[in-house]
Structure 1
């Protein structure tokens, strides 16, 4: 189970902390965040850090849990994942008592859950929709119908296969070359993919 129990400092001022230690962070523009808040409010009531001066909003995730959402790479042009790795990324974290600006503050909704950490998979799915709302339906690259990872159309192959359990007949699927064999095998086995 994912631990969502982290909380920011209670008093004092903004603390600059490295991503990847106590939490990972997701950074998005205020345009994407505004669209995300329309979806998140009332469903995933976790807090977000707003940096109005820089035009960024940050959501904090449990450290190392970003793998729960496989599509972060598709969002890369609009959303930045800040984790432990080759370079250290620092995020300004406001104290818990600062729910409004000026300056760094927490965005907390009226139905706030009391959580400062977001659920990675849910947030990732919401940000995917938010990018499309903010920048149009063609903003994100396509994805492989088999593994659902980013798919460059120049390298896509088309196979006949079943993508979902409800698919009665094999259908044309755009997939990575490496996924093509698995998709063909699933189609020939007459067993829909679970």
Structure 2
């Protein structure tokens, strides 16, 4: 009995250290929009991996290679001249969906974490993967944009505001919301 009690007490002391050692948790954002247009029209607006600048207000240009084949890449240039490089991982014409990931981003600054300088990426996230799906919903079209990612700083030190969970989540929500709202406006013209 004494041995069991010792194990439990030791476990209770180690639990905070284990939780702290785990690092950042995976985050998720999902945004949707209902559009008063048929699904085929909306899909044709978003399906080309090199067309994001045509319907997202934060993107001034898209340079892509590989079409809509898995492995295709694109470099997005944002209004602040920062860039994001992405790879198309899955593309399904029949189900009107695709999945992509961010491979690299330019830095928009630096932040000091425990005496060491860290880059602040154009979007304050890491290990980002996203899915865009278009589906008919009655006489409307539902577009869903889902992302799974980690905050910009995944170390075990206290993360700075510029790279924390809240900043990462709010950035993705803002990107998705502005893109989906602009897409709705363009599709309903």
TM-score bracket relative to the smaller structure: under 0.3
More strand by share: 2
User: Normalising by the residue count of structure 1, what TM-score does the alignment of the two structures yield?
Assistant: 0.25
Q: Which has the larger radius of gyration?
A: 2
User: Normalising by the residue count of structure 2, what TM-score does the alignment of the two structures yield?
Assistant: 0.25
More helix by share: 2
